[in-house]
A = this chain, B = another copy of it.
């Protein structure tokens, strides 16, 4: 689902439990300085096109493209029981789709990219925000900001999820290392979970070295 400007579903605001997915290209700022402007936009558009296709497949709502970042919501404006599961599966599928993005980048003489994804689950305020001239359906609040902070902890190719997302998942999650970080607005140190794969009905696993894979398999939750 993609929302157009002036998608007037809710004029006021409402509290919604959602899973928020934020992705960006790691090191894009430095990358953009090495590229010509047309290459830079071509690279972004290869990436956005592929990611939008994946998000639609998992019925996420693309709320924003900001710079090289993508903000996707699962659970607003429409919610479903499997919002969190679809968000996790979408994150894995997005990482898998980077392979095709990089194949296209190579064909276009563009550098390869790596993406980081942060996942968080919780209440947000959803509604139409903006001015009379320009408004859009969007989400705001503490949990949106928190997702950005989680995403900023990722390295290329990584998915990190908050404890709330892991708790809300009903699908099997193949998890890797816990990454303990101290995040502004999240109190004490918090253990983020690295997500390596997701169980049925999605059945998606990130490629990884064989020895690491054996260790990870033992950690299936």
**A binding-site residues for B, Cβ under 8 Å:** 2, 4-5, 12-15, 28-30, 32-33, 36-42, 44-45, 48-49, 51-53, 62, 64-68, 125-136, 138, 140-142, 144-145, 185
A5→B134 CA distance, assembly (Å)? 10
Ranked 10 nearest A-B pairs via Cβ: A13-B41, A52-B131, A13-B37, A41-B127, A37-B125, A12-B38, A15-B37, A49-B131, A40-B125, A32-B141
Question: Are the CB atoms of A40 and B65 closer together than 8 Å?
Answer: no
What residues on B are CB-neighbors of A4 within 8 Å? Answer: 5, 134
Q: How far is the CB of A83 from chain B (nearest CB, A)?
A: 18
A13→B138 CA distance, assembly (Å)? 27
User: Within the complex, which residue of B13, B42, B68 is in contact with A140, where a contact is CB–CB below 8 Å?
Assistant: B68
Question: Are the CB atoms of A140 and B33 closer together than 8 Å?
Answer: no
Q: Given A40-B125, A66-B66, A125-B32, A45–B130 Cβ distance below 8 Å?
A: yes
